[in-house]
Structure formats: C-alpha cells, structure tokens
C-alpha cells in the first residue's frame, strides 16, 4: 500500500508546514461550504415514525426505536410486508397515495413541529409510477418512473413552494426527473417551516436485529465519539479530479449526462482534506487495490462494486464503530434490504458489519446524487445530526436516495454541561 503524503515520516518543521497547508485547504472550502451555522440539539418530539401494521418486524422496529429515543409520534400504515417479500419493496403510485401519503399528510396536519420522518423495515422502498424518478433510456416515454419512497416523502409539498425546481436528469442508461433539494449546502438547523419537506431516514437491514442495532449504535456514539478513522478508498484509474472544482451545485434544469468519474474521486479527496485539517483520523488510499481488513472505522467512502478492482471479500471484511457514517458510489446499493445474490454491492452489508449511518440508492441516481463528502463530514463533525448532514450534502429529493439510520444521531454534538 502506497502512503499518501500525510502518512510519511516527517520532521517537526515539516509538520508545522503541513499544518499550515491543511489550514489553507480548509479555508479553500469556503466557496462551497456556507458560513458556519450553529447545530442545535434536536428533540424526539420532532420525529414521526412510520411502520407497516401488516409487518410484525416493522412494528417491532418502530416501537423499539420509540422506546429508546422516547419518541411519541408513531403512525401505522397498511401495505404488503416489504420485510419478507422482495416484490413488496416496490409499491404502485396509487397504492402509495392511499396507504402511505394520505395518512401521513393527515397526521402531519394535526401535529405541528415535526421535522424528521423515520420509515422502518417492512415499509416499501420505492414507488412505481410517480411523477418523479427514472426509467431506462431504452424504455418507451410512457414507461413508469420509479423513485425512492423515502426521498418522495422528503419532498412532500415541494411543488407549492417558492423557488421549486424540477430537473430533467439523464445519464448512465437512465432518464427521468428529480427535484432540487432546498436544503442543499445549507448550514443551519433544519426546519420544515423554512425549507419545506422533511428529513426522512430509514431503520432497515437484512434482519430485524440489524435495523434495531442502528439505534443502539447511535445512542452509544453520543456517549463516546467514534474513535476509529475515516477511510477514503480512491480508485486512481478513474482519474483524481480537481478538488478546487467540487462540490459543485447543480446549475439549470437539465442534466444531460453523469459527471466524470474523476469528480467523485476529487470529492472524496476533499472530504479527506477537511478531516485532516480538523485533526480527525483519516486514511486516503490512492492505490488501485480495493481496500479491506479495516476494523472500527468511523467513516467509509468508496466506489463499492463500481471500483475497477472491487473485491467482495475485502468489502465484507470492513467493520465499523458506533456513530460511523458513509456512502458508496454504487447505483443500486439500496435496491433491497433482503438477502439476495448477484448485482452491485449493497449497503445492507455495511449495516450488518456495524455502520451507523449510510446512504444508498434504490435505482440509478447518477454520481451527482451521491452525498458530497466534504459537506457531509463538515456538518456531521460540527455536531449536526446525521439526517441534517446527509440532506445538506445531497442535491436532489424525490429521487433515488435512501438514508439509513437514526435521524437524531449526532455523536459530534457538544455535550450538555
């Protein structure tokens, strides 16, 4: 394994110079990272938990979370059980409107002050036939669009808001429509009243135990910050990109193609630079190999199975500390949370191996939809919740995003005196 410049032995003088350079790198992030906000402790009274009454697993996960977090807002819906049936992970739009959106809107109209929504294992993952989402470029123009159910819930009420922007998105064999995230690159606590929509996360995994463990890890991390390091597994074959050009906002209302793959390498490098400037342990691997055999990681960013040298055994060897956070540049990493074989790498494996907060996609999102590591990690390590951090770092809503974990998880928040 080649060492990066930050891993080399150095003299006291070189360490001083290195510290100055890292400080300059952090200052250079300011064109992309808004002026610092002040994270606030979020209340369980701001959280609505949705569970599928037809799913014993969903109900159990919801009540476990409500008990651990002292959440009082729970809403039961009725739809096929996605915790045991892969076909039920997709719900038609008319059924979604009837069984999910209508009761959710009715509940929200009677309970003000909710900013976060949690879906639980057993609630469908995606909607077929929505007004947003993607279809294959080879499909007929009348073929239904598919979108993440969670991401669609996150955009409730968006079309009626000032500045609402719908974006035509094409690339990587898919075409469709997403909506511009109004909370993108913000740096202040989220409020439904100000930004519209909701921050939606999911408690899911291969098993009920996996889903419940997400909350246990989040609570544990509030007692002791993650002690491991953040791993950024670059694939240099794709090019390293320009760290000064990322993370870039979406401009205009048409995306004609996926951005070059070297830009995500640049995004990971920028996230790494930010952590090093904050003296947070991090490793940047610039070798071509796919990295494994790391334990107790505090964070993880890689190409997953899109890596030109991907090794499933290496991927399966990674383990994580409570409070850990991550994302992989994999088109369908959140396509299912049921045991399956074949296809691209899944974030469900990372959940099984201990990650606390992670983002994936139900269907092709384009690289533009990955959470921008520099924004995500700047916010998270400043004390924002994982939900705020992921949404501030994500450009779209009503798209393919699925964000896993307890939305209130905030291991870097200042402790109460």
* Dist. CA 320–CA 2, nearest whole Å: 23
Tell me if 215 is assigned to some domain. Answer: no
- Report the run of H or E that residue 218 belongs to, with start and end: helix 208-223
- Asked if residue 259 lies in contact with residue 295, where contact means CB atoms within 8 angstroms, the answer is no
Same domain, residue pair 175 and 227: no
Same domain, residue pair 68 and 178: yes
Length of the chain: 417
pLDDT digits (tens, 9 = 90+) for 310-331: 999 999 999 999 999 999 999 9
Tell me if 68 is assigned to some domain. Answer: yes
Same domain, residue pair 137 and 226: no
Tell me if 407 is assigned to some domain. Answer: no
Domain of 247? 5-34+220-400
Q: What is the mean pLDDT of residues 229-238?
A: 98
Same domain, residue pair 179 and 234: no
Residue 172: both structure tokens together: 């990587």
- Give SS3 for 231: strand
How much is the pLDDT for 416? 63
Pairing of the two strands 401-404 and 133-136: unpaired
Same domain, residue pair 28 and 76: no
Q: What angle do CA 162, 165, 168 make, to 5 degrees?
A: 165
Show which of 171, 203, 235 is a domain's final residue.
203
- Quote the distance between the C-alpha of residue 184 and its chain's center: 13
- Report the run of H or E that residue 301 belongs to, with start and end: strand 297-302
For the chain, give the mean pLDDT.
Answer: 92
* Dist. CA 403–CA 369, nearest whole Å: 12
Same domain, residue pair 161 and 307: no
Tell me if 277 is assigned to some domain. Answer: yes
pLDDT digits (tens, 9 = 90+) for 70-96: 999 999 999 999 999 999 999 999 999
Same domain, residue pair 12 and 100: no
- Give SS3 for 29: coil
State residue 369 phi and psi, 5-degree precision. -85, -10
Same domain, residue pair 93 and 149: yes
Q: pLDDT band for position 29 (50/70/90)?
A: very low
* Dist. CA 142–CA 6, nearest whole Å: 53
Other C-beta atoms lying within 10 Å of the C-beta of residue 256? 10
pLDDT digits (tens, 9 = 90+) for 94-119: 999 999 999 999 999 999 999 999 99
Q: pLDDT band for position 417 (50/70/90)?
A: low
**Count of structural domains, the chain:** 2
Q: What is the mean pLDDT of residues 40-57?
A: 97
Q: Which residues contact 52 (CB under 8 A, 6 or more apart)?
A: 58, 59, 76, 77, 78, 79, 81, 82, 83, 120, 122, 123
Checking if the pLDDT of 369 tops 80, the result is: yes
- Report the run of H or E that residue 22 belongs to, with start and end: helix 12-27
- Give SS3 for 404: strand
Same domain, residue pair 228 and 318: yes
Same domain, residue pair 395 and 252: yes
pLDDT digits (tens, 9 = 90+) for 263-284: 999 999 999 999 999 999 999 9
* Dist. CA 415–CA 42, nearest whole Å: 13
Tell me if 17 is assigned to some domain. Answer: yes
* Dist. CA 147–CA 134, nearest whole Å: 7
Same domain, residue pair 351 and 294: yes
How much is the pLDDT for 38? 83
Checking if the pLDDT of 347 tops 70, the result is: yes
Same domain, residue pair 90 and 177: yes
Q: Which residues contact 73 (CB under 8 A, 6 or more apart)?
A: 45, 47, 48, 49, 107, 111, 114
Tell me if 411 is assigned to some domain. Answer: no
Lowest-pLDDT choice from 7-11, 130-134, 157-161, 224-228: 7-11
How much is the pLDDT for 36? 61
Helix (DSSP H) and strand (DSSP E) numbers for the chain = 12, 18
Q: pLDDT band for position 225 (50/70/90)?
A: confident
Q: What is the mean pLDDT of residues 128-140?
A: 96
Tell me if 409 is assigned to some domain. Answer: no
Residue 27: both structure tokens together: 């200052």
- Dihedral over Cα of 409, 347, 372, 19: its sign: positive
How much is the pLDDT for 72? 98
Residue 206: both structure tokens together: 């291969």
Tell me if 103 is assigned to some domain. Answer: yes
Q: What is the dihedral of CA 384, 385, 390, 392, to 10 degrees?
A: -40
Q: Which residues contact 111 (CB under 8 A, 6 or more apart)?
A: 48, 73
């Amino acid at each position: 394994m080649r060492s990066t410049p930050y891993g080399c032995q150095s003299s006291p003088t070189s360490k001083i110079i290195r510290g100055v350079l890292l400080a300059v790198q952090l200052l250079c992030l300011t064109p992309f990272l808004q002026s610092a906000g002040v994270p606030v402790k979020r209340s369980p009274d701001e959280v609505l938990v949705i569970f599928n009454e037809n799913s014993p697993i969903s109900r159990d996960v919801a009540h476990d979370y409500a008990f651990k977090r002292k959440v009082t807002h729970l809403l039961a819906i009725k739809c096929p059980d996605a915790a045991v049936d892969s076909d039920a992970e997709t719900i038609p739009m008319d059924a979604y409107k009837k069984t999910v959106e209508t009761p959710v809107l009715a509940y929200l109209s009677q309970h003000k002050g909710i900013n976060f929504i949690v879906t639980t294992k057993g609630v469908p993952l995606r909607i077929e036939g929505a007004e947003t989402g993607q279809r294959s470029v080879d499909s007929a123009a009348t073929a239904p669009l598919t979108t993440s159910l969670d991401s669609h819930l996150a955009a409730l009420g968006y079309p009626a808001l000032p500045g609402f922007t719908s974006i035509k998105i094409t690339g990587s064999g898919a075409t469709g429509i997403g909506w511009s995230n109004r909370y993108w690159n913000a740096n202040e606590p989220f409020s439904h009243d100000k930004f519209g929509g909701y921050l939606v996360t999911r408690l899911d995994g291969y098993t009920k135990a996996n889903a419940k463990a997400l909350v246990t890890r989040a609570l544990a991390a509030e007692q002791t910050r993650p002690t491991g390091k953040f791993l950024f597994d670059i694939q240099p074959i794709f090019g390293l990109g320009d760290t000064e050009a990322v993370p870039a906002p979406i401009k205009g209302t048409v995306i004609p193609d996926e951005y070059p793959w070297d830009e995500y390498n640049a995004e990971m490098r920028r996230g790494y630079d930010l952590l090093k400037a904050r003296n947070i342990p991090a490793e940047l691997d610039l070798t071509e190999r796919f990295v494994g055999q790391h334990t107790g990681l505090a964070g993880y960013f890689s190409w997953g199975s899109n890596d030109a040298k991907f090794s499933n055994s290496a991927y399966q060897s990674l383990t994580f500390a409570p409070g850990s956070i991550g994302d992989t540049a994999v088109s369908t990493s959140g396509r299912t949370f049921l045991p399956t074989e074949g296809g691209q790498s899944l974030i469900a494996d990372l959940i099984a191996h201990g990650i606390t907060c992670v983002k994936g996609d139900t269907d092709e999102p384009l690289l533009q939809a990955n959470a921008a590591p520099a924004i995500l990690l700047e916010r998270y390590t400043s004390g924002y919740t994982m939900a705020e951090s992921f949404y501030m770092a994500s450009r779209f809503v009503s798209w393919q995003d699925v964000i896993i974990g307890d939305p209130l998880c905030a291991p870097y928040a200042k402790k109460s005196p």
